[in-house]
């Protein structure tokens, strides 16, 4: 299973990359707005830090506008994946971009039907937003299970990228289901390694190490 970080913050990306388990980056307009820097300049720097897929979202909502922006974004670096909103115009854009050999990530996916459509259109990645479903008392992980079943039934190559994750259990459940990728905010990534019994155990070992005769 691959790990992506969901941020446009260079310090967070560098720190996660230094952990040695980072495969890619997802960004979106909201994350980019927090950085108060030109988006494309930021994307170029991100692509220099992380060699894996870096999702860059279009701001346009019409087919032609999305295509134009997608081509500009894809020209920033070889590892750019263009994030396209899962609306009718987006579906058409995903197909057109697949025909041009530009890799896409279908974003804002909330239903199995949307996931099936974007796979048919040739999206390289599908991003179901689990946390936002949980936020409205729906079951985000249930959506992941349904999409995985559908994709396996028909051998779709589109990778399931679990998005809008909020806590380590989203990662554990995604891994148990066999999702291809999860994108996590920096604070979730840093929580993964932590366990109170590890800290208590290490403190005891270090205390006992002091009692071991030197020599």
Catalytic residue among 14, 68, 83, 204: 83
Between CA 148 and CA 112 the distance in angstroms is 9
- Tell me the window of 128-136, 172-180, 191-199, 205-213 that interacts with ligand E4P (CB under 6 A): 128-136
Residue 214 annotated in active site = no
Between CA 39 and CA 128 the distance in angstroms is 23
52 binds ligand E4P (CB under 6 A): no
Smallest gap from Cβ 201 to ligand E4P, in A, equals 33
Contact 62, 89 (CB under 8 A): yes
Contact 77, 44 (CB under 8 A): yes
**Interacting residue with ligand E4P among 163, 171, 181, 189 (CB under 6 A):** 163
Of 28 and 86, nearer to ligand E4P (C-beta) is 28
Helices (H), 85-154: 88-99, 112-121, 130-135, 140-154
86 binds ligand E4P (CB under 6 A): no
129 binds ligand E4P (CB under 6 A): yes
Number of H helices, E strands in the chain: 11, 8
Positions touching ligand E4P (CB under 6 A) are 6, 26, 28, 107, 127, 129, 131-132, 163-164, 183
Active site residues: 83
């Amino acid at each position: 299973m691959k790990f992506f970080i969901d941020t446009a913050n260079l310090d967070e990306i560098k720190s996660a990359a230094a952990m040695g388990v980072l495969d890619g980056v997802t960004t979106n307009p909201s994350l980019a707005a927090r950085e108060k820097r030109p988006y494309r300049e930021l994307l170029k720097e991100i692509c220099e830090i992380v060699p894996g897929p870096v999702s860059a979202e279009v701001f346009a909502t019409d087919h032609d506008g999305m295509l134009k922006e997608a081509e500009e974004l894809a020209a920033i670096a070889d590892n750019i994946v263009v994030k396209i909103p899962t609306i009718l115009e987006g579906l058409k854009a995903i197909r057109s971009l697949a025909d041009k050999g530009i890799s896409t990530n279908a974003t804002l996916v909330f239903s199995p039907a949307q996931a099936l459509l974007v796979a048919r259109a040739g999206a390289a990645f599908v991003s179901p937003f689990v946390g936002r479903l949980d936020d409205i008392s729906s079951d985000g992980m249930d959506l992941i299970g349904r999409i995985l079943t559908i994709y396996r039934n028909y051998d779709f190559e589109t990778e399931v990228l679990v998005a809008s994750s909020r806590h380590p259990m989203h990662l554990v459940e995604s891994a148990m289901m066999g999702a291809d990728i999860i994108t996590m905010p920096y604070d979730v990534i840093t929580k993964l390694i932590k366990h109170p019994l590890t800290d208590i155990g290490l403190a005891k070992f270090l205390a006992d190490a002091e009692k071991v005769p030197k020599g």
